[in-house]
């Protein structure tokens, strides 16, 4: 998930008899599974929650270009480099779709970017971890994009039309990304002992951060119930995390790698894996801005925005000048 | 000077598509950049052969609350669904 802790503005779900007639009608539409479209009436809390969630999701796509972009110039083969370039370009496109979806809710992209740059809006905790070796690029594709897909597939059915349509488009490309990541891991694991050790090291460092992508445990997630009542969220954080673990463990086994969790065991009774929770203190520290790369990541975004100001203005002025000339000729 | 780039709605006609379909929107300072960006974002995997970019502010949309009166299926107006004419067999296919 690229949006982990979303404030819905209330810590409990209001019963139907506390709602206005408008809100009751809205909830009935949600219950029927109708999609909500931009110009329609919606509760203020619903609108704000979506702006937070879609905005945070968009920011994550953009900031997520940095850890992978870190290895573009150092990719080990030309083929891997071209694939990585295409992938990072996809992420830019995903950010674009999502900013547009957020804008249908009455906020502008520049406003959202300002909120990101000033630290008032978050992006996914995962992108505050460094990419230290080439296998990390494999681990990011396999685990990080894998976790993102686990979350985004159900979001294709989310109640807000523009968000749901953006997810449909994005999911298709995310699955390319996950496969390219796993392909890197396979290559590393079939390679020399040094390469395999790099792959194991990458898994060791990215396993828990990937589990954190699904957000805090259900018992600590005060806003989930409201998001689920509005059908913005379809599954709980813990449900998706469990699904991710069950899907990923056999993939790690196939690679001959060990998941860094002593408590990981198949539970026959539940038909699922038991596993250790990530360190939630670490998670909240990262979210609060104190992770390993928070300053570097946000710093890079702010620098790009500030250094690019003259260029954006130049294009705007040029466009205006051209328009005036065309008017004169007409 | 700080000015937000305008929003553009992007329509693409697929390789075998008959008409342009709305695929999304994007920000660009002018029409030329809107087309260039649309090519990169929306047609990188053979999605289309023709792009239209229209400034969002030029699009007029119907109001959702008018959905009933605007789109009432007019089943009461049978003359709009003229499937009931009887053509003599001798006339052939028509």
Query: Do A138 and A199 form a contact (C-beta atoms < 8 A)?
Result: yes
Chain A with chain B: Cβ pairs closer than 8 A: 48
Rounded to a whole number of angstroms, the distance from the CA of B77 to the nearest CA of chain A is 28
Q: What does the buried/exposed string (b/e) look like for A152-169 if buried means 16 or more CB atoms within 10 Å of the residue's CB? A: bbebbebbbbbbbbbbee
> Do the interacting molecules here have an ipTM over 0.85?
no
A chain contacts of residue B25, beta-carbon cutoff 8 Å: 100, 103
Looking at chain A, which residue has its C-alpha nearest residue B24?
A: A97
Residue A56: per-residue pLDDT: 95
**pLDDT band per the 50, 70, 90 thresholds, residue A6:** confident
Q: Which residues pair with A160 in a beta bridge?
A: A36
Residues on chain B touching A172 (C-beta within 8 angstroms): none
d(CA A230, CA B13): 35
Out of B3, B5, B64, whose CB is closest to A39?
A: B64
pLDDT digits (tens, 9 = 90+) for B22-51: 999 999 999 999 999 999 999 887 788 899
Q: Which residue from B24, B29, B40 is facing A97, i.e. has the nearest CB? A: B24
Q: What is the value of pTM for the model shown?
A: 0.89
pLDDT of residue A207: 98
Over residues A147-153, mean pLDDT: 93
* B71–chain A nearest CA distance, Å: 17
Average pLDDT over residues A77-99: 94
Q: Is the pLDDT of residue B81 over 90?
A: no
pLDDT grade for A176, boundaries at 50, 70 and 90: confident
What pairs with residue B53 in β-bridges? B10
Query: Which tens digits make up the pLDDT trace of A7-27?
Result: 777 767 777 778 888 899 999
In angstroms, the Cα distances linking A186 to A82, A142, A254, A303 are: 18, 10, 9, 36
Of the candidate ranges A12-26, A241-255, A265-279, B11-25, the one whose mean pLDDT is the lowest: A12-26
Residue B1 confidence (pLDDT): 43
Alpha-carbon Rg for chain B, nearest whole angstrom, is: 21
B5 and A37 within 8 Å at the Cβ level: the answer is no
Is the pLDDT at A65 greater than 90, yes or no?
yes
Interface contact B29-A318, CB threshold 8 A: yes
Percent helix, strand and coil across chain B, each to the nearest 5:
30, 20, 50
> Is pLDDT at A179 greater than 80 in this prediction?
yes
């Amino acid at each position: 998930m690229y949006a982990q802790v979303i404030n819905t503005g209330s810590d409990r779900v209001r019963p139907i008899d506390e709602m206005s007639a408008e809100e009751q009608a809205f909830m009935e539409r949600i219950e029927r599974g109708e999609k909500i479209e931009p110009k329609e009436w919606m509760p203020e809390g619903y609108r704000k929650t979506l702006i937070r969630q879609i905005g945070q999701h968009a920011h994550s796509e953009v900031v997520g270009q940095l850890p992978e972009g870190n290895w573009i110039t150092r990719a080990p083969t030309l083929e891997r480099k071209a694939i990585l370039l295409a992938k990072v370009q996809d992420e830019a496109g995903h950010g674009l779709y999502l900013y547009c979806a957020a804008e249908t809710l009455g906020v502008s992209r520049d406003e959202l970017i300002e909120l990101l740059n000033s630290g008032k809006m978050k992006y996914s905790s995962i992108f505050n971890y460094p990419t230290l070796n080439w296998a990390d690029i494999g681990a990011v594709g396999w685990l990080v994009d894998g976790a993102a897909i686990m979350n985004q597939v159900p979001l294709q059915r989310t109640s807000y039309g523009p968000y749901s349509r953006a997810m449909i488009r994005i999911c298709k490309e995310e699955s390319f990304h996950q496969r390219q990541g796993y392909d890197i891991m396979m290559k590393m694991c079939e390679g020399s002992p040094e390469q395999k050790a790099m792959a194991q090291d990458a898994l060791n460092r990215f396993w828990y951060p990937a589990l954190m992508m699904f957000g805090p445990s259900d018992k600590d997630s005060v806003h989930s119930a409201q998001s689920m009542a509005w059908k913005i969220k379809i599954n709980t954080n813990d449900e998706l995390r469990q699904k991710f673990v069950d899907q990923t463990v056999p993939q790690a086994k196939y690679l001959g790698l060990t998941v860094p969790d002593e408590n990981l065991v198949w539970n026959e009774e539940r038909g699922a894996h038991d596993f250790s929770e990530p360190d939630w203190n670490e998670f909240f520290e990262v979210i609060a801005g104190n992770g390993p790369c928070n300053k570097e990541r946000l710093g890079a975004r702010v620098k790009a925005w500030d250094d690019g100001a003259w260029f954006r203005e130049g294009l705007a002025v040029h466009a205006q000048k051209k328009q005036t000339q065309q008017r004169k000729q007409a | 000077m700080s000015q937000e780039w305008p929003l553009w709605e992007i329509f693409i006609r697929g390789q075998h598509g008959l008409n342009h379909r709305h695929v999304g929107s994007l920000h660009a300072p002018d029409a030329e950049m809107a087309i260039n960006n649309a090519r990169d974002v929306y047609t990188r995997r053979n999605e289309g052969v023709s792009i239209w970019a229209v400034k969002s502010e030029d699009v007029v949309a119907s109001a959702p609350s008018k959905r009933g009166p605007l789109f009432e299926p007019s089943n009461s107006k049978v003359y709009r669904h003229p499937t009931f004419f009887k053509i003599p067999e001798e006339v052939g296919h028509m």
